[in-house]
Amino acid sequence: MPALAVADALRAHGAEVEFVGGERAEAELVPAAGYPLHRVNVRGIPRRNPLGALRSVLMALRATGRARRILRGTGADAVLGGGGYVAGPVGLAARTLRLPLALTEADSHLGVANRLLAPLAKQVFLAFPIDGRDGGRYTVTGRPVPGGTGTPDRAAARARFGLPPDGPCVLVFGGSLGARRLNEAALDAFGRAAPGSVLHASGVRDYDELHSRLEELGSPPHYRLFPYIEPFADALAAADLAVARAGGSVLELAAAGLPAVLVPYPHATADHQTANARYMERAGAAVVVPDDELDGPRLARETGGLLAAPQRLAAMTKAARGVARPDAAERIAAAVLELIG
């Protein structure tokens, strides 16, 4: 999604944009957004499997050759890496062809591909400040978020999900795959009663099980469960408070001015979700609940306390908007075009 936001900004300036990706979310999202997608086959390097690591390295070498052919065939003038596995071979191919390379990092920790490519890049755009990564080629721009057609209408967003036009609404989500612990805690906390409406994007993996449990509870009218929500901006517009993991999407919450209860995924690389969450907490935009402390009663207490304190929620909304950098996509696009000259 950050890459698509930058692509839209580049296209608005008259640039042609094409994507190189694999079989993950980009396989569906990029063509749907109207951009060509070139496929390469690459995967992460397993650290505890030497044979698997060797296979991954060989795949990356083959992918680099294919990426060179793609870049030559498209007549690319510059490459912008999005931080995933595919960025490694494509970024390396760009430098072997002497094309300007820039990188984006959506978390408070540089991923493997970005760490390897950073010495080769002209610029690295960071969503969060990162210790030791300041000045020179590093610029904190914030996380690019899709612009869409403007701020969604709250009443229309609530109508879309069948939510009451008035009263508080809690939005629960855990990323594209969902988050099992978060999903179960939300159902325990809000399945029978809630301090308002609940809008829950569970991810596809857990949806059927959660739907069955809600049916056992009589399909409570205050609880709206979806496997995923697109465009997600409508969900942000409908809600008064979010309960979420703490990936780079915390800056989407900030851009929407939405207070949050954040539950960092404890096994994220370098524990970067905890760093993301604490960043939002220090700004006054979020409350952090450690994963091993999360259960239904704790979640009910945290959300109920916040919704019962409108002045605190208003202060958190103001703090969230202070953290947001809504011009991130435009700044990155302008810098990339400057690299091209």
- Look up tokens 């988050």; give the residue: 179
Torsional sign, CA 221, 225, 230, 232: positive
Are 35 and 52 within 8 A, CB to CB?
no
CA 306 to chain CA centroid, Å, is: 24
Contact 187, 252 (CB under 8 A): no
Q: Report the topology of domain 154-323.
A: Rossmann fold (3.40.50)
- Identical fold at 2-145+326-340 and 154-323? yes
What confidence score (pLDDT) does residue 151 get? Answer: 59
CB half-sphere exposure, 266, CA atoms < 13 A: 9
Determine contact, residues 80/6, Cβ cutoff 8 Å. yes
> What pTM was estimated for this model as a whole?
0.77
Cα 1 from Cα 23, distance rounded (Å): 15
Q: Are 81 and 90 in contact (CB under 8 A)?
A: yes
**Per-residue tokens: 131:** 């210790």
User: What pLDDT is recorded for position 159?
Assistant: 95
Q: Which residues contact 142 (CB under 8 A, 6 or more apart)?
A: 127, 251, 324, 325, 326, 327, 328
CATH T-level assignment (fold) for domain 2-145+326-340: Rossmann fold (3.40.50)
Calculated CA dihedral for residues 307, 312, 314, 319, nearest 10 degrees: -120
State how far the Cα of 280 lies from the Cα of 261, in Å rounded to an integer: 10
Q: How far is CA 206 from CA 2, 138, 180, 292, in A?
A: 25, 39, 7, 20
| pLDDT digits (tens), the chain, 341 positions | 889 999 999 999 999 999 998 877 788 889 999 999 999 887 776 667 777 767 777 877 888 999 999 999 999 999 999 988 889 999 999 999 999 999 999 888 888 889 999 999 999 999 888 888 877 899 999 888 876 545 578 999 999 999 999 999 999 998 655 689 999 999 999 999 999 999 999 998 999 999 999 999 999 999 999 998 988 889 999 999 999 999 878 988 998 999 999 999 998 877 889 989 999 999 999 999 999 999 999 999 999 999 999 999 999 999 999 888 889 999 999 999 999 98
State pLDDT tens for residues 205-263.
Answer: 999 999 999 999 999 999 999 998 988 889 999 999 999 999 878 988 998 999 999 99
| pLDDT for res 312 | 97
pLDDT at 149: 43
**How many other β-carbons are positioned within 10 Å of the β-carbon of residue 167?**
13
Residue 293 is predicted with a pLDDT of 96
The domain limits of the chain are 2-145+326-340, 154-323
Q: What is the DSSP letter of 118?
A: G
pLDDT in tens, 81-117: 998 888 999 999 999 999 999 999 988 888 888 999 9
Three-state SS at 101? strand
DSSP for 263-310, please give it: ---TTSGGGHHHHHHHHHHHHTSEEE--GGG--HHHHHHHHHHHHT-H
Structure tokens at 113: 């591909």
